[in-house]
A and B are shown apart, each in its own frame.
Chain A
Amino acid sequence: MIAYLIRRFWQTFITLLIMSLLVFVGVYHIGNPADILVSAQATPEEYEMFIRNMGLDKPMWEQYVTFLGNLFQGDLGNSFVYNEPAVDLIFRRLPATLELTFAAMGIALVFGLPLGIYAGLKPKSGLTRCIMTGSILGFSLPTFWIGLMMVMVFAVWLGWFPASGRGGLSHLVLPAINLALFKVSLVIRLTRAGVLENMLMDYVRFARAKGLSETRVVVVHVLKNTLIPLVTVLGLELGNLIAFAVVTETIFAWPGMGKLIIDSITVLDRPVILAYLLIVVVMFSLINLVVDILYSVIDPRVRYE
């Protein structure tokens, strides 16, 4: 297990290196942040001063080496725009994003799992058809369109919820549902497929033959086997939600990390972009690790050497 963890750590480390290099070169070639940030009224001297202060006058490889050097000392650099540590800016917004994503994930599971199980157990019933048609809508309608419609109907016309921003529970409802719609559909479909498949397995027949109640067969045996693919996908999806809930965050002006990265890209705030993506890589690696460990919990046959 230890050897396994060390190997995983090295993989993550190499991913981080490659990714940082790619982003660094990419952002460097898009443009010079000084052309966007320095005021049009500033003199060329001031322009040069900014470039010098931010180290942008050095050749790219030197800037990258400096970045790596600071990185190993735990310093991801200061935002060009805010002059605050990039990591602080990101972590200050993390709670808002986590609140939104966990609410969305919660909604997805609370609705998706029971509906999916039902659809798997009663594949031919009328309700199942409704559920499956609904899930197609959830899949295929674009998030931004649904988001705008939700704002229009529930905030502007009906006035039930605020249209934007973060505050109490009422602010969370619309964006969380908006973000959850796709995930609900995903959970329904995965669960249904798993249940359908597992119900035909021999072990279900044996469990029934053993005289177990149908509830116990479904909840303890079938569900547990259905969970493995579900956990994999949801793990990745959770990472996706946290890192890239940009569309929903923009529509509902939710002050999360997704909006920060978009704003940073438009002004080429390289330290923030880099720090953000590095954090995302670490986060994905951690989530994957947790997913892998969960496998071995759910399925004792899985072992890591």
Chain B
Amino acid sequence: MWKRLFLAIALVLCTSVAGHAADLRIGLSSFTTSVDPLFYVGGNNISMMRNMFDCLMNQDEKQQIKPGLAVSWKPLDDTTWELKMRTGVTFHDGSAFTSEDAAASIKRVALASVNSPSSLMAYVQDIESVETPDAETLIIKTKKPTPLLPNNLSRISILPAECAELTTNDLNAGKGVIGTGPFKFVSWAPDEHVTLAKNPDYWGGAPEWDTVVYRSLKSNSARVAAILAGDVDVIENVPSADNEQLRKNSKLRVISTPSNRVMYLHMDQDREVSPHAAGPDGKNPLLNPKVRRAISLSINRQALIDRVMDGQGGLAGQLVPEGYFGYSPDIKVDPYDPDQAKKLLAEAGYPNGFTLTSHASNDRYPNDAKVAQAVGQMLSRIGIKVSVETLPGSVYFSRASKLEFSFIMGGAAVETGEATGVLGPLLATYSQTTGQGNRGRYSNPAFDNALQTALVTVDDAAREKLLQQAMNIAMDDLGVIPLFFLSHNWAVRADLDIQPRTDGYTLAKFITTTK
């Protein structure tokens, strides 16, 4: 009796602990909220969808736009694009992919946006009409010149046309989760797991894994424990405190890459009297560009990366990393120069500094509270009387949007792979349609002009020049002060390899065995 019971328990343990050779188990730090690929714009959703769905254009590991379900595209005139579809591609249900499916999917964005907390409408709102002259051709007419159309379409997953009428709730119930991607949908449970199976007919070559299980492991300690115990084969977002330990572990490998996410400081540049920044005269010192430059010079960026971020990150002198469309080679990262900073402060009329309360979230970005505190200490070294207040994101973001703060820290990712995705929201003059994340209310007509012209300039070279010009203006004014680019990192079993992506997406297709 006891023997049999023991045997049974041992069996249960063995079967659950050991995985099969071609099974892959991945622990994620943020999890998809739906299996409708057009429901939510956040990276946690979009990255999961890249396993099951293709877009007309796909982003490669450095977020460059590459052919996806469209093999080529060209503007016929300023507002008309012709896209040629890939032939011979089949959906997971066996039906053939045609331009009809692409057109229906673009139309479906509106349907999926109805109850979405943040929809993908922004990526298709410039589209006037979509026509399908034949199965291999798609003609997209836009309301105004839209050079970013390929970047925007690299966010829109393609479903079969017959699924276009399905609601998000239908898809969440498992109906019609059909794509052309490297993996087929099997099952999911919100905030628990997504299970996928190999698509052997994938047009880009069948992936290595028969089954992939993504698990939600949002707690840092649970995620690290899971890979140490062998519960999962891959985890994303290794907490910087555990980086060293995992690196030394011979059964694991840690792989990292600089990311597209920049951490920055926003300063009130709008109000004469600001709630949390005041010079001896009671006025807001942050309006003065010399003060902003002094702040930038007082920050030891390398020390932030080395000490606070455990060596993970890249220096930032502008809002996109090198290699991204819109990166300006003219801009140098501000050096750490407290003497010069003090001099500038004195020139600006604040030889004895001023008082400042800096605000930051404490649960939204890696080590956000520690970074804010370190920055506060650096500022106090040049004589600014700083106090640092950190708040949970649930409180912080609402108050920041209501402009209750004067000096705040934030993070922004270049989702579309080029500079407008950060320049627009953070620095364009705040209005009903622009500058949505501009919590410092920076405003410079020359910048706005360069950016707005860039947004309707279809010629790539001319557009890049305009974006660089806009970047130069904003960084010369220090509309925001860039601190550093975060790194993305992964811990994988020692016999695995992962191609790191700058967008931080953990995609099973790019995880391979090294042997």
Contacts of A263 in B (CB 8 A): 191, 218
User: Contact at A251–B222, with CB atoms within 8 Å?
Assistant: yes
A42 to B15, CA, bound (A): 46
> A65 contacts the other chain (Cβ, under 8 Å)?
no
Given A35-B401, A80-B117, A92-B190, CB of A159 within 8 Å of CB of B17: yes
Interface centre among A35, A40, A84 (most CB of B within 10 A): A40
User: Contact at A82–B34, with CB atoms within 8 Å?
Assistant: yes
Contacts of A35 in B (CB 8 A): 397-398, 400-401
Within 8 A of B (CB), among A32-55: 32-47, 50, 53
The 8 Å CB contact of A45, one of B172, B230, B432, is B432
Please give the distance in Å from B376's CB to the nearest CB on chain A.
Answer: 23
CB-CB contacts of B141-180 with A at 8 A, as 1s and 0s? Answer: 0000000000000000000000000001100100000000
> A290 contacts the other chain (Cβ, under 8 Å)?
no
A250 to B9, CA, bound (A): 26
Within 8 A of A (CB), among B189-217: 189-192, 215-217
User: Contact at B190–A170, with CB atoms within 8 Å?
Assistant: no
Stretch of A105-113, A118-126, A147-155, A191-199 that contacts chain B: A147-155
User: Contact at B398–A84, with CB atoms within 8 Å?
Assistant: no
Please give the distance in Å from B18's CB to the nearest CB on chain A.
Answer: 11
The 8 Å CB contact of B41, one of A39, A81, A163, is A39
> A169 contacts the other chain (Cβ, under 8 Å)?
yes
> A267 contacts the other chain (Cβ, under 8 Å)?
yes
Please give the distance in Å from A67's CB to the nearest CB on chain B.
Answer: 17
CB-CB contacts of B214-227 with A at 8 A, as 1s and 0s? Answer: 01111101110110
The 8 Å CB contact of A156, one of B189, B219, B229, B421, is B229
Query: Number of A residues whose C-beta is below 8 Å from B?
Result: 58
The 8 Å CB contact of A53, one of B115, B396, B431, is B115
Please give the distance in Å from B51's CB to the nearest CB on chain A.
Answer: 20
The 8 Å CB contact of B226, one of A148, A161, A164, is A164
Please give the distance in Å from B125's CB to the nearest CB on chain A.
Answer: 8
User: Contact at A46–B222, with CB atoms within 8 Å?
Assistant: no
Contacts of A162 in B (CB 8 A): 16-17, 229, 231
Interface centre among A41, A43, A47, A250 (most CB of B within 10 A): A41
> B374 contacts the other chain (Cβ, under 8 Å)?
no
CB-CB contacts of B22-51 with A at 8 A, as 1s and 0s? Answer: 000000000001100001011000000000
> B135 contacts the other chain (Cβ, under 8 Å)?
no
* CB nearest neighbor in A for B173: A84
The 8 Å CB contact of A78, one of B17, B115, B222, is B115
> B352 contacts the other chain (Cβ, under 8 Å)?
no
A255 to B215, CA, bound (A): 10
Contacts of B433 in A (CB 8 A): 43-45
A151 to B229, CA, bound (A): 8
* CB nearest neighbor in A for B415: A41
* CB nearest neighbor in B for A260: B191
Contacts of A45 in B (CB 8 A): 432-433
Please give the distance in Å from B320's CB to the nearest CB on chain A.
Answer: 14
The 8 Å CB contact of A164, one of B191, B222, B412, is B222
Interface centre among B217, B218, B415, B436 (most CB of A within 10 A): B436
Contacts of B115 in A (CB 8 A): 53, 78, 83
Contacts of A36 in B (CB 8 A): 393-394, 397-398
Within 8 A of A (CB), among B431-460: 431-434, 436-437
User: Contact at B436–A165, with CB atoms within 8 Å?
Assistant: no
Within 8 A of A (CB), among B377-402: 392-401
CB-CB contacts of B223-266 with A at 8 A, as 1s and 0s? Answer: 10110111100000000000000000000000000000000000
Contacts of B15 in A (CB 8 A): 168
User: Contact at A42–B34, with CB atoms within 8 Å?
Assistant: no
> B306 contacts the other chain (Cβ, under 8 Å)?
no
User: Contact at A266–B393, with CB atoms within 8 Å?
Assistant: yes
* CB nearest neighbor in B for A53: B115
A266 to B437, CA, bound (A): 20
Contacts of A148 in B (CB 8 A): 221, 225
> A259 contacts the other chain (Cβ, under 8 Å)?
yes
CB-CB contacts of B399-438 with A at 8 A, as 1s and 0s? Answer: 1110000000000100100000100110000011110110
User: Contact at A255–B436, with CB atoms within 8 Å?
Assistant: no
* CB nearest neighbor in A for B192: A255
30 residue pairs bridging A and B, Cβ less than 8 Å apart: A33-B117, A35-B398, A35-B401, A36-B397, A37-B117, A40-B412, A41-B122, A41-B415, A41-B421, A41-B424, A41-B425, A41-B437, A42-B436, A44-B433, A46-B118, A47-B436, A81-B117, A82-B190, A83-B168, A152-B225, A159-B17, A159-B230, A161-B13, A164-B225, A167-B16, A170-B16, A252-B222, A255-B216, A266-B363, A266-B393
Q: Pick the 10 closest A-B CB pairs, nearest first.
A: A31-B398, A37-B117, A163-B229, A155-B229, A35-B397, A255-B192, A39-B118, A163-B225, A253-B222, A156-B228
Chain A contacts to B: CB under 8 angstroms: 30-47, 50, 53, 78, 80-84, 89, 92, 148, 151-152, 155-156, 159-171, 250-253, 255, 259-260, 263, 265-268
Chain B contacts to A: CB under 8 angstroms: 9, 12-13, 15-17, 33-34, 39, 41-42, 114-119, 121-122, 168-169, 172, 189-192, 215-219, 221-223, 225-226, 228-231, 363, 392-401, 412, 415, 421, 424-425, 431-434, 436-437
Q: Given known contacts A39-B122, A255-B216, A266-B393, what 9 new A-B pairs fall within 8 Å (CB)?
A: A30-B398, A37-B117, A41-B41, A44-B436, A83-B115, A83-B168, A152-B225, A156-B229, A253-B223
